[in-house]
Amino acid sequence: MGSDRADTDGEMRSSPCDWPAYVDNMAALNGLRLDPARRAEVVRQLERIEALARRFTDFPLDAEVEPGPVFRP
């Protein structure tokens, strides 16, 4: 289940991930107990990472754009 979140540019976007449920499930799967403050911080950081990644994943690229085969600094 997704949720609406404010993106880094202030836009509301629907998140494909329910981060609180994800944190709860992953903590349980790994046998971790997170106190409420730490859990809230983990959720907040995942939301920030998602917002930062969205800048790259939402960047429009033409179908003809190809990556360079060799990196030359």
Higher-scoring residue by pLDDT: 1, 30: 30
Whether residue 67 lies inside any domain: the answer is no
Task: Dump pLDDT digits (tens) for 10-63.
Answer: 555 567 899 999 999 999 999 999 999 999 999 999 999 999 999 988 888 888
Domain count, the chain: 1
Whether residue 26 lies inside any domain: the answer is yes
pLDDT of residue 46: 96
Distance CA 39, CA 27 (A): 9
pLDDT of residue 9: 54
34: left (phi over 0), alpha (psi -120 to 50) or beta: beta
pTM of the model: 0.65
Range of the domain at 28: 17-57
